[in-house]
Structure 1
Amino acid sequence: MSSDEDTPLGTLASTSGSKHVATNGNSSLNGFADGSSMSEDEMPLSQVSVQAPVRPLRRKRDAGDASDSSDDDIPLASSSPAKPTVSVTTQVATTPKTISDQSKQTNGKAKGKVKAPPKKRIKREPKSEAPESSASEDERPPPKKRSRTKVKTENNVDGAILGGEETKPKRRSAAKKEAKKEDSGTPRPNHSKKGEENDEAEEEEEKYRWWEAQQENDGEEKWQTLEHSGVIFPPPYEPLPSHVKMVYKGKEVDLPPESEEVAGFYGAMLETDHAKDKTFNKNFFEDWLKVLKEYPPRNGIKITDFDLCDFRPMYEYFEAEKAKKKALSAAEKKELKKQKDAMEEKYTYCVLDGRKEKVGNFRVEPPGLFRGRGDHPKKGALKFRVRPEDITLNIGEGVPIPVPNMSGNWKAVVHDKTVTWLANWVENVNGNYKYVFLAAGSSLKGQSDMSKFEKARELKKYVDRIRLDYTADLKNKVMADRQRATAMYFIDRLALRAGNEKGEDEADTVGCCSLRCEHVTLEAPNFIIFDFLGKDSIRYYNRVPVDAQVFKNIRLFKENKGDNDNLFDRVNTTHLNKHLQSYMKGLTAKVFRTYNASITFQQQLDEGTPKDATTQEKLNAYNHANRMVAILCNHQRSVPKTHEQSMGKMRDRLRALKYDHMKLRHVLFNLDSKYQKMKQYADDESDLDDEWIVEHEESLKKKEIEKVEKKFAKDNEKSVEEGNKPQDESVLREKIAAIEVEFKRIAKERGTGRASLKRERPAERIEESIQKLDEKIKTFKLQMDDREAGKEVALGTSKINYLDPRITAAWCKIHNVPIEKIFSKTLLTKFPWAMEAESDWKF
């Protein structure tokens, strides 16, 4: 089965879905996407009993139709339309070394080995999970030494100070110091909030450090004991109010709940791009007609024509319900979240070998309409409601079997210690298996990640020999060997995916081994143009120069073939991977992709990071290196719909900073005319026109008034709670009047080149403020440039799946960059083992 390593974490976030509004209707191996362009977890930390439902009619499916899991059912919101991408060759050619030179780099070795921690700290031997590309776990890396160098985090005042201003520890009051002296001889429980935080910190420190433990298992069993609560099923369908009906030929249709539910899935999506797609509409209507056949309208209306259906009443009802939910007060939303969290708590953790570990996607995705990615032939198809009878649980022997939160019995309960999934089922649209795994930060996932990157690092020992061999085989007289060598050339040089055969009912996506003649065009003297749909139906377009022999081979392979014939008709992924494993145990084409991504990233960082630069300049260099890898791996995306809007807000923010800069300059001019002759204060802010200044000052006044109004209301609310008399409205009116007076004064200063402050400050302090604003403006411009440069590239996929996180951890240490500016909370949790890499660690 394919791994979920290629799936962006953002799309793996589980969501419970609304009872009425259709959910994404798609999932990956580790959960189903929420359709958002970027989740909060992906952002760097610094920035930021009821009636049983009636099951819809089941689609017939051949029992043997279950295929390997794929990521084709991730929502359109996460994919890009077909569009040319930047040529990797052109981009990488600007650096002194090319991808083909990477194997010649001097790569640092992991520093020092350590003794295993005392066995009394480890209750049970940990079970390591090998990556799916590995044949076994015999080549598992030895345990790594825990680094004594700490990566600075914004909340870590004890770590090494790696950049920026030092975080000062909070001072204790004299009373607290005195109390500490008195209690020093007699320890006692600390019931204060700080005491609770300290206890939590100690508990955090005692987390299982699997990467330090001895690895002594036999490579087969992943665990010994496993106990969990199963999965959560979505709530049953609740019929719409009697006044909400879909309309057919101008008449309201009285649908039974079974067919009304399916109609509602479409109604909720009425204003989306999906509802404008012919394939989506066709598949939905065909499946809905099957449900209608079994559960026809109660008022006898016969539905036969999709174009005569009007789902708008349903859509308007769903929108009104969403508006009501959005209008709830903060307290009401908090209470609802509290209830939801309490209900889900027992599902969020499992007990693995006596340790409490977090579960990843414990929610079963609700029924809905399949969305897919790109031009998927099944988009719009009905996804059935999953029931206990569909789910196989994996759990330890002799532990209580969880009871489903809806009526029914589990399909099966197994005790398979050689796998790491907790539950699985087969979804009906593509016949793919869906799994429940442990969370990204769990020991089993961590071991899998670390093993994957160690496998890619191990390839360094063999890559020169592999390249020599496939270069020689480019002229091999055996056609199968020559085709294999040419495919290896593309996989190595261009980081192409190997590719697998697709069925007729799957999206027409290809990889290297499944390329057809129509996907490759020759252009003399030595250029090849690739144009095909890759994974997730994302277009791969690249015009690259190749070796003369490769050009000759492609011309030979295309002879006497039609456009729809396979370019490599004597090579497939299985044979290619079998050949690669003759060089190195567990080596597959995917390992090459991980290796080339990480080695390219390391090279780009080493060559492109400025030494004497600001943190933002270093971050821009880091993102540039990440973009080079994303382009290499074809991690493209369409420009977000909100991009121009967010850039507009950033431009306004930049103007606001320049406005502050201008006002301070004018204050200096008012204090002493000599400042006007100084070069650093002479230039006006050219993009601040009079009209914008008036609008900005009106906006500032409005914000100031809103601020005092909120504070006035809050103070009065507090006074009433304390039994005191609230302030009179005249107090508020006085404050607003003072703001009006202040902004009238500011308005009079427009165009005069002179300004004054509400509170006088010495010229030296104003000069310092201007200098700080200069730095802030420079940093903000760099952030804008970085945002604009990355609008068509998805940086998250490579950061999560292809770039060894130790590269980032070491880079942050050596360049004094807080790692929270790069890794989100989710990634810090996912890669705890990487945070201990030494500053001189190299991939």
Structure 2
Amino acid sequence: MSSDSGDLSDYDNPAGTNGAGINGHVNGFGNGKVGSRSAAMSEDEEMPLSQTVPPRRNLKRKKSNYVESSSDDDTPLASSPAKQSTSTAIAMPGAAAATTVPSSLLPKSKRPGTKKEESDYEEALSKPAKKKPTRKKAKREEDSSEDDEPIAASKPVARKRKVKAESDADSSDEDKPIVKAAKKPPVKKVKKEEPNDSPAPKANGKAKAKEEGEDEGKGKGKKKKKKEEEQEEVYRWWEADAGSDGSVKWQTLEHNGVIFPPPYDPLPSDVKMKYDGKAVTLPLESEEVAGFYAALIESDHAQDATFNKNFFNDWKGVLKKHPPLDGTKITTFEKCDFRPMFDYFESEKAKKKALTSAEKKELKKAKDDMELKYTTCLLDGRKEKVGNFRVEPPGLFRGRGEHPKKGSLKYRVRPDDIILNIGKDAPIPVPNMPGKWKAVQHDNTVTWLATWTENINQSHKYVFLAAGSSLKGQSDMMKFEKARELKNHVDRIRANYSGDLRSKVMAERQRATAMYFIDKLALRAGNEKGEDEADTVGCYSIRYYNRVTVDAQIFKNIRIFKENKNDDDSLFDRVTTASLNKHLNAEMKGLTAKVFRTYNASATFQRLLDENDLEGATLQEKLNAYNKANRLVAILCNHQRSVPKTHDQSMEKMRQKYKGLKYDRMKLRHGLFGMDSKYKKVEKYQDDESDIDDDWIAEYEEQLKAREIEKAEKKFAKENEKLAEDDIKPQADSILQDRIKNIEDEFKRLAKERGKTTAAVKGNKTAEKLMEGIDKLTDRIKSFKLQMVDRDEGKEVALGTSKINYLDPRITASWCKIHEVPIEKLFSKTLQVKFPWAMEVDTEWKF
């Protein structure tokens, strides 16, 4: 799948847009999956903390001799089959108890044995909309959702599973949509309806703003009318008639394909890497790959032996085709010195950082203008946003944790690597680099716009519509509705697999045990993985290391499954993902292991939120309660993460800010005492902020002074920049010096007040104003302390993954309305755009 068209490198094979899409996990540990193949292919955010894994022994395990022996009922008829390879696994403590919902906590209408209630989903659709969601600019959520697969691709099962690796989201900042969520163009009739005698705009700032930004009406009434019109243009697909059979996804589709990265920009002739102390002249193809590594020499990647080994092996392959122009033979990695290239890259970064805001805006505008046509498509005549329309540039594969291929070279993707999917009558887009598309198809049963295969893991990459699009929204809603449907079947399913735990047939007993783990431990399903995949884990067909309390029969079954097996044999050797999902589908149409996971996560979350009594709670107390419930679900689903490297630094900044707030309150208290000493006897003003002593105050005031001076200098520079734009003579430096002197005089006054209990009050503030300020600061201090606790408790848990994939967003929307919490406090703009259909539920809605 290579091409020679129009580029400098001939190592050009497909590379994915989502470089870390199936990269494994930090510290080599995985997600806790039933099986393993899909473990490496989805939700790669959900990496656990480093956890101790017992060393694997290759000793033959003897048949255990237990005091009690299994009864005849506990002895399956089938025996253990052939041995299989295994992989390491991780611990996920404390998850088992979280999924079981006591029937006493359920509403009477939802307890087992009661009459099946009418679908809340139908009720939600039948109710009139209360508020129309606006679509806003959305960042790409760092998400590797399993839902981002083509819905009805006609491929073999194994192939279809691999599709699940693909996501329309990428952690790269370059995958953020640029334009706002699609709306139909403003109706020009608005202008025609304006009175002919509209006065000409006045030559002032406000009039100018109207000229530039309010083309379709002047005056509040017309602006409001325009806004209402635009809101009505939003496609409210969740209110439309959903009569489709699910096979056809669209009737017409037009888009502009993908945008390729620019060609390699050569280094200046005086910037060269060194080999054995001597500068080396490289051809452009080899220089580009060397630059990939040079940019990372001060990162953790360059300190990794596997990363370095893979890079050097791949680079040697490029050097073989494109050897140094001066005849240098590069054979030893340790003799390579990439520092000159690194220094050049750093200097270029500094230059970009030093650009003025106007220059940065100009560059951004040029980039936005170039990419604008790629950001949207026409789906059935509606403009909708496209997700990851940028093809990732070539580079070095980073991987996660101990991925065996980290450091490998990601080839440049060309047009002849990419298959487009577009409407039959739509014009075929022209790629922005030389070459022709590999193929163009017109399949309206799938939702992707483009696809290719990356060279590192041979995984398929797809371009989908953005998270807030109608197709993605419909897929999300159907997923959560399927999980809600499981409520009506879960008791029967649990009873069935509980009965099979004593089955005489080994396959049935293993399947039932696997279902127990899927249900109670929220594990995923997957198959065995290859040696070239990262260390991710599962339940059957792969070793899973954890310590949990289980039912007695589960313990007996695991003991039986282990008999006559080595440590590297598969524990669940009679179960596959296909056979499990076939059985689940027989229990409930459309049921998969992931539906169990989504159901348990959402049901547990709803229960935990309902258990909180938040009457009279502050906003921050409500947020902490919400985040605590989210954390428990994240632990249940094993959405753990390594503690961020910047966590300690971040917490120290918060502690300093916390003390700063107490300092501000202290100065107000001292100002109040200076007005009238009687306030010293008032209890709520007697807090002496004992954790901020004079030494800390001196240091803090020096920091404040430095910040104030820096602020004054920046303001002075901006003022002069503005004057220069207007061809006005800039201000003299003496004006800046006077401002700095005033700042220094103020801090000298503050220094004299140290150790005293009274202070001067600036301005004409009254005692009432000071008391009001003290009360506000007291509330802020309490709230900020709660934020610190929340931040520290969440350092090892990834909350975003469950919000995106497993928690029904309607739970959050309803909870926010019940407790009067702004949705913006819990859902980013990205999530609000992704789940507009969920924002309109009422306070009565429950999962």
State TM-score, norm by structure 1.
Answer: 0.78
Q: Which one-letter code corresponds to 1:112 in the other structure?
A: E
Q: Distance in 1 between matches of 2:668 and 2:242?
A: 63
Q: How does 1:240-251 map to 2 (within 5 A)?
A: 240-251=267-278
Shift in CA distance, 32/237, structure 1 to aligned 2, threshold 3 Å: farther
Q: Which residue of 2 aligns with 1:331?
A: 358
1:341 is aligned to 2:368:
yes
Shift in CA distance, 425/212, structure 1 to aligned 2, threshold 3 Å: same
Q: Distance in 1 between matches of 2:308 and 2:20?
A: 28
Q: Which residue of 2 aligns with 1:219?
A: 246
Q: Which residue of 2 aligns with 1:450?
A: 477
Once the two structures are TM-superposed, the CA of residue 296 in structure 1 deviates from its matched residue by 1.3
Q: Which residue of 2 aligns with 1:12?
A: none
CA RMSD of aligned residues (A): 3.4
Once the two structures are TM-superposed, the CA of residue 83 in structure 1 deviates from its matched residue by 2.5
Q: Which residue of 1 aligns with 2:123?
A: 112
Greater mean deviation of Cα atoms: 364-373 or 623-632? 364-373
Q: Distance in 2 between matches of 1:642 and 1:715?
A: 35
Once the two structures are TM-superposed, the CA of residue 227 in structure 1 deviates from its matched residue by 0.5
Once the two structures are TM-superposed, the CA of residue 78 in structure 1 deviates from its matched residue by 8.8
Q: How does 1:32-111 map to 2 (within 5 A)?
A: 82-83=50-51, 90=94, 99=100, 101=102, 105-106=106-107, 107=110, 109-110=120-121
Match of 2:427 among 400, 423, 448: 400
Q: Distance in 2 between matches of 1:633 and 1:659?
A: 42
1:419 is aligned to 2:446:
yes
1:671 is aligned to 2:675:
yes
> Which ranges in structure 1 are unaligned for 5 or more consecutive residues?
1-18, 37-66, 119-128, 137-174, 177-187, 520-530, 532-541
Shift in CA distance, 195/78, structure 1 to aligned 2, threshold 3 Å: farther
Q: Which residue of 2 aligns with 1:433?
A: 460
Once the two structures are TM-superposed, the CA of residue 243 in structure 1 deviates from its matched residue by 1.4
Match of 2:345 among 310, 318, 331: 318
Q: Distance in 2 between matches of 1:189 and 1:654?
A: 48
1:514 is aligned to 2:553:
no
Measured against aligned partners, the alpha-carbon deviations of 1:237-288 in whole angstroms (never above 9, x if no partner) come to: 1222211222222222221111221121111111111112222222212211
The answer as to whether partners of 1:809 and 1:819 remain within 8 angstroms in 2 is yes
Once the two structures are TM-superposed, the CA of residue 117 in structure 1 deviates from its matched residue by 10
Once the two structures are TM-superposed, the CA of residue 599 in structure 1 deviates from its matched residue by 0.6
Q: Which one-letter code corresponds to 2:775 in the other structure?
A: Q
Greater mean deviation of Cα atoms: 560-569 or 299-308? 299-308
Q: Distance in 2 between matches of 1:211 and 1:769?
A: 47
> Which ranges in structure 2 are unaligned for 5 or more consecutive residues?
1-8, 27-35, 54-89, 111-116, 130-145, 154-200, 203-214
Shift in CA distance, 428/313, structure 1 to aligned 2, threshold 3 Å: same
Q: Which residue of 2 aligns with 1:486?
A: 513
Once the two structures are TM-superposed, the CA of residue 407 in structure 1 deviates from its matched residue by 0.7
Q: Distance in 2 between matches of 1:547 and 1:68?
A: 28
Q: Distance in 1 between matches of 2:41 and 2:425?
A: 38
The secondary structure found in structure 2 opposite 1:603 is helix
Once the two structures are TM-superposed, the CA of residue 838 in structure 1 deviates from its matched residue by 1.1
Q: Distance in 1 between matches of 2:470 and 2:653?
A: 42
Match of 1:581 among 585, 594, 598: 585
Q: Distance in 1 between matches of 2:652 and 2:423?
A: 55
Greater mean deviation of Cα atoms: 435-444 or 282-291? 282-291
Once the two structures are TM-superposed, the CA of residue 668 in structure 1 deviates from its matched residue by 2.2
Q: Distance in 2 between matches of 1:707 and 1:131?
A: 46
Once the two structures are TM-superposed, the CA of residue 514 in structure 1 deviates from its matched residue by 2.5
Once the two structures are TM-superposed, the CA of residue 363 in structure 1 deviates from its matched residue by 0.7
Measured against aligned partners, the alpha-carbon deviations of 1:747-800 in whole angstroms (never above 9, x if no partner) come to: 222112111202242222222211111101000000000000001110000011
Measured against aligned partners, the alpha-carbon deviations of 1:685-743 in whole angstroms (never above 9, x if no partner) come to: 01111111112222333333444444445455556666766655555444444333333
1:809 is aligned to 2:820:
no
Measured against aligned partners, the alpha-carbon deviations of 1:17-76 in whole angstroms (never above 9, x if no partner) come to: xx9xxxx9865499899x99xxxxxxxxxxxxxxxxxxxxxxxxxxxxxx998865999x
Measured against aligned partners, the alpha-carbon deviations of 1:163-186 in whole angstroms (never above 9, x if no partner) come to: xxxxxxxxxxxx99xxxxxxxxxx
Q: Which one-letter code corresponds to 2:549 in the other structure?
A: P
1:690 is aligned to 2:694:
yes
The secondary structure found in structure 2 opposite 1:836 is coil
The answer as to whether partners of 2:584 and 2:591 remain within 8 angstroms in 1 is yes
Q: How does 1:230-245 map to 2 (within 5 A)?
A: 230-245=257-272
Q: Which one-letter code corresponds to 1:443 in the other structure?
A: S
Q: Which residue of 2 aligns with 1:180?
A: none
Once the two structures are TM-superposed, the CA of residue 130 in structure 1 deviates from its matched residue by 9.3
Once the two structures are TM-superposed, the CA of residue 91 in structure 1 deviates from its matched residue by 7.4
Q: Distance in 1 between matches of 2:612 and 2:312?
A: 54
1:745 is aligned to 2:725:
no
Q: Distance in 2 between matches of 1:842 and 1:218?
A: 27
Shift in CA distance, 800/424, structure 1 to aligned 2, threshold 3 Å: same
The answer as to whether partners of 1:246 and 1:252 remain within 8 angstroms in 2 is yes
The secondary structure found in structure 1 opposite 2:547 is strand
Q: Distance in 1 between matches of 2:699 and 2:505?
A: 75
The answer as to whether partners of 1:30 and 1:435 remain within 8 angstroms in 2 is no
Greater mean deviation of Cα atoms: 760-769 or 281-290? 760-769
Match of 1:550 among 554, 557, 560: 554
Q: Which residue of 2 aligns with 1:58?
A: none
1:775 is aligned to 2:772:
no
1:377 is aligned to 2:404:
yes
The answer as to whether partners of 1:620 and 1:786 remain within 8 angstroms in 2 is yes
Q: Which residue of 1 aligns with 2:189?
A: none
Shift in CA distance, 231/110, structure 1 to aligned 2, threshold 3 Å: closer
Q: Distance in 1 between matches of 2:460 and 2:610?
A: 42
Q: Distance in 2 between matches of 1:321 and 1:351?
A: 39
Q: Which residue of 2 aligns with 1:270?
A: 297
Q: Which residue of 2 aligns with 1:124?
A: none
The answer as to whether partners of 1:420 and 1:437 remain within 8 angstroms in 2 is yes
Measured against aligned partners, the alpha-carbon deviations of 1:617-655 in whole angstroms (never above 9, x if no partner) come to: 000000001000110011111111111111111111111
Match of 2:762 among 733, 747, 758: 758
Q: Distance in 1 between matches of 2:511 and 2:582?
A: 11
Q: Distance in 1 between matches of 2:601 and 2:43?
A: 23
Q: Which residue of 2 aligns with 1:150?
A: none
The secondary structure found in structure 2 opposite 1:544 is coil
1:838 is aligned to 2:806:
no
Larger relative CO (CA 8 A, sep 6+): 1 or 2? 2
Q: Distance in 2 between matches of 1:727 and 1:290?
A: 60
The secondary structure found in structure 1 opposite 2:102 is helix
The answer as to whether partners of 1:422 and 1:437 remain within 8 angstroms in 2 is yes
Shift in CA distance, 348/553, structure 1 to aligned 2, threshold 3 Å: same
Q: Which residue of 1 aligns with 2:529?
A: 502
Q: Distance in 2 between matches of 1:714 and 1:707?
A: 11
Once the two structures are TM-superposed, the CA of residue 660 in structure 1 deviates from its matched residue by 1.1
Q: Which residue of 2 aligns with 1:799?
A: 803
Q: Which residue of 1 aligns with 2:594?
A: 590
Q: Distance in 1 between matches of 2:128 and 2:822?
A: 29
**Identical positions, percent:** 66
Q: Distance in 2 between matches of 1:209 and 1:312?
A: 55
Measured against aligned partners, the alpha-carbon deviations of 1:448-483 in whole angstroms (never above 9, x if no partner) come to: 000110011111111000111111111111111111
Shift in CA distance, 668/207, structure 1 to aligned 2, threshold 3 Å: same
Once the two structures are TM-superposed, the CA of residue 397 in structure 1 deviates from its matched residue by 0.6
Shift in CA distance, 73/635, structure 1 to aligned 2, threshold 3 Å: closer
1:789 is aligned to 2:793:
yes
Q: Distance in 2 between matches of 1:333 and 1:715?
A: 18
The answer as to whether partners of 1:26 and 1:371 remain within 8 angstroms in 2 is no
Q: Distance in 2 between matches of 1:504 and 1:686?
A: 59
Match of 1:819 among 807, 819, 823: 823
Q: Which residue of 1 aligns with 2:833?
A: 829
Q: Which residue of 1 aligns with 2:643?
A: 639
Q: Which one-letter code corresponds to 1:270 in the other structure?
A: I
Q: Distance in 2 between matches of 1:74 and 1:467?
A: 27
Q: Which one-letter code corresponds to 2:578 in the other structure?
A: T
Q: Which one-letter code corresponds to 1:687 in the other structure?
A: D
Measured against aligned partners, the alpha-carbon deviations of 1:531-587 in whole angstroms (never above 9, x if no partner) come to: 2xxxxxxxxxx4211111111111111111111100001111111111001111110
Once the two structures are TM-superposed, the CA of residue 116 in structure 1 deviates from its matched residue by 10
Q: Which one-letter code corresponds to 1:463 in the other structure?
A: V
The answer as to whether partners of 2:261 and 2:391 remain within 8 angstroms in 1 is yes
Aligned pair count?
706
The answer as to whether partners of 1:393 and 1:413 remain within 8 angstroms in 2 is yes
